[in-house]
Amino acid sequence: MNVLVVGGAGYIGSHMVRLLAADGHRPVVLDNLSTGFRQAVTVGELVVGEMNNRELVKQILSDYKIDAVMHFAACALVGESVIDPAKYYLNNVSATFELLEAMREVDVKRIVFSSTCATYGEPKVVPINEQTPQQPVNPYGFTKLAIERALSDYAHAYDFGYAALRYFNAAGASPDGSIGEDHDPESHLIPIVLQTALGQREQVTIYGSDWSTPDGTCVRDYIHVDDLGSAHLAALERLKLGEGLCVNLGTGNGFSVRQIIEACRQVTGHAIPAIEGERRPGDPPELVADASLAKEKLGWVPKYTEPAQIIKTAWAWHSTNPTGYEKRTEGSTVV
Ligand code: UDP
């Protein structure tokens, strides 16, 4: 298939583009490079532009005879969404509607959408299955839920076929270390811990050690970025016009902040100092997927089930690209 990957220069999108090409598809990337990187697009074509430019999107859909769209272009930081909700509603909702309308105008109706476990808010029961009420507790979660609802309406009214994939904690990198996670500022746990291993930070601050979890720190379900990608490939094959599929993507296993730091120590061989700090506002104590529906509907099983396996790939990226994409020097290695 010819697949338009919106946000394909970003962290998850850039891994997706490679998997699409390896699976025999033709990826075409549309990215405004606001948080993505030209160097992250290692196969296929890159068009630099805005997804809310309806004429541009229509042009790409026609020129490249696009069969389906994958949509990764979103702002995705919970804390930032609380401080600057307009940015989130404009990009994640308003611009996405322009994308959907461009698709509708040229009759491209297949879309795989990146949703999130943040649409569940703070669920009372863990592991979280898809029947759990979606009650977001921050603007980021609301924006993603808004698009899920719109896709359902577009499927019924306009015959769209969609999959909304609710990611848990995306982590890891390409095992060869050539592409990976690069955010500025970085807020995600594993990159922060690995930057500490590299000596770029003095210590890791554990956000809260008095949670009602086994070791007092927050528990998350870390899912490898290539496992997210393989689920997208499976979803792409199964898109049916007029129908939608909403599934969780996680391993089904939860690991605490302390367990992740310890796994990073094992993988890197570095001491990695950590101190206990305040809770981060908006953090639910435990988010773990019940991923059985994805297995059933997509025939999908994650390959990486242990944090150490995931961290090993993240370390391959961070240790060879200690300053990320912008200032990376080919072939440099820091260990
Ligand atoms: N976390 C932490 N210290 C950090 C960054 C994150 O203790 O410097 C915790 C955070 O509170 C959460 C978990 O690590 O419980 C994962 O956070 P991340 O930002 O990676 O993902 P989120 O779960 O917020 O999407």
- Segment 42-57, tens digit of pLDDT: 999 999 999 999 999 9
Q: Is the pLDDT of residue 283 over 70?
A: yes
Atom in ligand 1 nearest the alpha carbon of residue 260: 14
**Is the peptide bond between 185 and the residue preceding it cis, with omega within 30 degrees of 0?**
yes
Task: Judge whether 104 lies within some domain.
Answer: yes
Q: What is the mean pLDDT of the chain?
A: 95
Please tell me the total count of domains within the chain: 1
Residues 286 and 126 sit within 8 Å (Cβ to Cβ): yes
Q: What are the pLDDT digits (tens) for 217-236?
A: 999 999 999 999 999 999 99
The pLDDT assigned to 218 comes to 96
For residue 321, what are its two tokens?
């690209």
> pLDDT digit string (tens) for 78-98?
889 999 999 999 999 999 999
| Ligand 1 nearest-atom number relative to CA 277 | 7
Give the confidence band of 327 by pLDDT, cuts at 50, 70, 90: low
CATH code, domain with 38? 3.40.50.720
Pocket probe for ligand 1: among 188, 200, 211, 278, the residue whose CB has the most ligand atoms within 8 Å is 188
Instruction: Tell me, in angstroms, the distance from the centre of ligand 1 to residue 49's CA.
Output: 31
Q: Report the amino acid identity of residue 204.
A: V
Question: How many whole angstroms from 189 Cα to the centroid of ligand 1?
Answer: 5
Binding pocket residue ranges, ligand 1, CB within 6 Å? 78, 169, 187-189, 192, 204-207, 218, 220, 257, 280, 283
Residue 193 class from Cβ within 10 Å (0-12 exposed, 13-18 middle, 19+ buried)? buried
Answer yes or no: is 296 within a domain: no
Q: Do residues 102 and 35 make contact, with C-beta atoms less than 8 angstroms apart?
A: no
Q: Is the confidence at residue 24, as pLDDT, over 80?
A: yes
Candidate list 11, 88, 120, 140, residue with the active-site label? 140
pLDDT band at 282 (very low <50, low <70, confident <90, very high): confident
Per-residue pLDDT reduced to its tens digit, 108-128? 999 999 999 999 999 999 999
* Cα–ligand 1 centroid distance for 13 (angstroms): 21
Mutate which of 220, 255, 262, 278 to test ligand 1's pocket (most atoms within 8 Å of Cβ)? Answer: 220
Which numbered atom of ligand 1 lies nearest the CA of 188? 20
Domain that holds residue 89: 2-171+221-251
Q: Whose CA is nearest to atom 15 of ligand 1?
A: 218
Amino acid at 125: V
Active site includes 140? yes
Question: Is residue 29 in some structural domain?
Answer: yes
pTM for the model: 0.96
Q: What is the pLDDT of residue 104?
A: 98
In a domain, 312, yes or no: no
Q: Which tokens go with 255?
A: 């690991």
pLDDT tens figures, 63-78: 999 999 999 999 999 8
- pLDDT of residue 334 exceeding 50: no
Please indicate, yes or no, if residue 333 is contained in any of the structural domains: no
Whether residue 262 is contained in a domain is answered as: no
CA of 256 to the centre of ligand 1 (A): 10
In a domain? residue 287: no
What is the distance in A from the centroid of ligand 1 to the CA of 197?
Answer: 17
Which ligand 1 atom is nearest residue 190's CA?
Answer: 20
212 assigned to some structural domain: no
Using DSSP bridges, classify how beta strands 68-71 and 2-6 pair: parallel, antiparallel or unpaired. parallel
